[in-house]
Amino acid sequence: MDVYIDNVKVDMGKEKFSSFGLTISAITKRLHNENRVLDEIFVNGETLKENSYVNLESLKTLEITTRSFREIVLESLYSTREYIDNYFYIIDRFFEGNEDEEVIEVDEEDLFELLSFLHWFYNLILIINENFSFQFAEKDFSEFVEEFSENLDVIEGLYHEEDCFDLIEALESSIGQMLLLFYDNFDECFNEVIFEEKKKNLLI
């Protein structure tokens, strides 16, 4: 079996893999050490479909395309401000038609969308913190990530306790203010990622 990663033939060593899954696992670990992630898989020239079975005996050529962490971060950052705008749009909808803010009607699908976004955003800032030297002027970015994690834990607790009023208040105020801080510093963060990507490419 010949293995190609980004059109470059690679030596997988003398280890014999007993399954296709173990082969991909070994490649994934190799990519992780190079700060890259697997993007697409081609088996004998054909795109591997999801949940497809691959017989190692018939596998002659395995081709892998990858993406760098920076590429993934840049792609994610493109959408971040739009997602944050939508986050507050959904929260505002919770209060529409409610003269008494002590009584809030919450759509479960909207709430799930907010929580899903917060987990997505947390994973994004974790990657930024681990791979880039970006800092806020107002706050150390590592402290920002830690504080966001703590607020997310509180929100998860309120969600499971079905404490609707305190949950919406936390979504709007505590963690909402953190999203606004990132929103206000978006350009600096985006430019830092681009700068470090260009610097990395110059060193290759």
> Where would I find the H helices in the chain?
20-33, 69-95, 108-131, 141-160, 164-172, 174-184, 186-203
pLDDT tens string 9-25: 988 776 677 788 888 88
The domain containing residue 110 runs over which residues? 71-203
Overall domain count for the chain? 2
Considering the domain architecture, whether residues 29 and 109 belong to the same structural domain is answered as no
Q: How confident is the model at residue 145, as a pLDDT?
A: 94
Convert the pLDDT of each residue in 81-97 to its tens digit.
Answer: 999 999 999 988 877 75
| Section 32-40 average pLDDT | 82
- Residues 199 and 114 both lie in one domain: yes
Domain boundary among 69, 101, 120: 69
pTM for the structure as a whole:
0.70
Distant-in-sequence, close-in-space partners of 48: CB < 8 Å, separation ≥ 6: 40, 41, 42, 54
pLDDT of res. 107 = 75
Domain harbouring 52, CATH code: 3.10.20
Q: Are strands 2-5 and 61-68 parallel, antiparallel or unpaired?
A: parallel
pLDDT at residue 179 greater than cutoff 90: yes
Mark whether 79 and 154 lie in a shared domain: yes
Q: For residues 75 and 63, state if they share a domain.
A: no
